[in-house]
């Protein structure tokens, strides 16, 4: 029985990603550029039919320790639990992290739930002195830094008017489309 082309391509992509990750580790490639981190996450996540939430665990120089799939969800949300994220960070002895998740819809804009999750994870990791460097939203065509977008939005909102950040006003970290998530976890899109 012949292997279907798409399956063969997926296996080839998976092997290529492992080679890239191995080289990143062996040569201590520093993920200090939005372009490098975004491209790596795009290779991991572009074209996935369901949301996946990944962590790139980094050492003190921001060299890659390990890339890890933390959660897999549905077509429009993923449950991410801060407790599990912190446990994984400590297990890898990480000093910093870059998160990335995909939007199968193709919309690269971070949702309000994405922003709330980023804040929640930043706060949880800060308690154990782990820096959240960035959080990317990935589509087949781009990997957008949600953190950079938020900083630009914050600068513009401070210039125009003094209004609180949208993420703090939300009050809930559940996906706006689904209010059935666990109270202990965060559903995010």
Q: Per the structure block, which two tokens stand in for 98?
A: 């870059």
**Quick one: what percent of the chain has pLDDT higher than 90?**
47
Q: Which of 102, 20, 100 is nearest to 57 (CA)?
A: 100
Q: Which residues share a beta bridge with 186?
A: 80
pLDDT higher than threshold 80 for residue 7: no
| Per-residue pLDDT at 172 | 32
| Per-residue pLDDT at 148 | 61
Q: Give the pLDDT confidence of 80-134 residue by residue, as tens digits.
A: 999 999 999 999 999 999 999 999 999 999 999 999 999 999 999 999 999 999 9
Q: Which residues share a beta bridge with 78?
A: 188
- Residue range 62-75: mean pLDDT, rounded: 93
What backbone phi and psi angles, to 5 degrees, belong to 64?
-70, 125
The model carries a pTM of 0.71
- Residue range 127-156: mean pLDDT, rounded: 78
| Per-residue pLDDT at 158 | 39
| Per-residue pLDDT at 32 | 72
Cα–Cα dist 153/142, whole Å:
19
- Residue range 53-79: mean pLDDT, rounded: 94
| Per-residue pLDDT at 169 | 41
Q: Kindly state the helix (H) or strand (E) to which residue 166 belongs, with its residue range.
A: helix 166-170
CA distances from 26 to 36, 116, 117, 180 (A): 16, 35, 32, 43
Q: Give the pLDDT confidence of 22-64 residue by residue, as tens digits.
A: 766 666 667 777 788 888 898 888 888 999 999 999 999 999 9
Cα–Cα dist 12/60, whole Å:
32
DSSP states of 1-65: -PPPHHHHHHHHHHHHHHHHHHHHHHTT-B--SHHHHHHHHHHHHTT-SS-EEEEEEE-TT-BEE
27-33: long-range contacts, CB 8 A cutoff, minimum separation 24: 28/61, 28/63, 29/63, 29/64, 30/61, 30/62, 30/63, 31/56, 31/58, 31/62, 31/63, 31/64, 31/98, 31/133, 32/62
Q: Give the pLDDT confidence of 164-186 residue by residue, as tens digits.
A: 444 344 333 333 333 333 334 45
| Per-residue pLDDT at 16 | 77
């Amino acid at each position: 029985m012949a292997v279907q082309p798409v399956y063969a391509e997926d296996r080839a992509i998976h092997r290529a990603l492992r080679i890239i990750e191995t080289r990143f580790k062996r040569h201590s490639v520093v993920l200090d550029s939005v372009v490098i981190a975004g491209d790596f996450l795009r290779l991991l996540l572009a074209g996935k039919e369901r949301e996946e939430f990944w962590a790139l665990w980094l050492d003190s120089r921001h060299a890659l320790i390990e890339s890890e799939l933390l959660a897999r969800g549905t077509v429009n949300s993923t449950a991410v639990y801060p407790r599990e994220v912190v446990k994984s960070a400590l297990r890898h002895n990480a000093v910093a992290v870059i998160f990335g998740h995909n939007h199968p819809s193709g919309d690269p804009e971070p949702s309000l739930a994405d922003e709330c999750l980023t804040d929640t994870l930043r706060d949880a990791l800060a308690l154990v002195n782990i820096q959240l460097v960035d959080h990317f939203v990935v589509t087949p065509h781009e990997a957008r830094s949600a953190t950079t977008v938020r900083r630009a939005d914050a600068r513009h909102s401070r210039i125009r008017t003094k209004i609180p950040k949208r993420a703090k006003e939300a009050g809930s970290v559940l996906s706006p489309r689904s209010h059935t998530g666990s109270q202990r976890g965060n559903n995010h899109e």
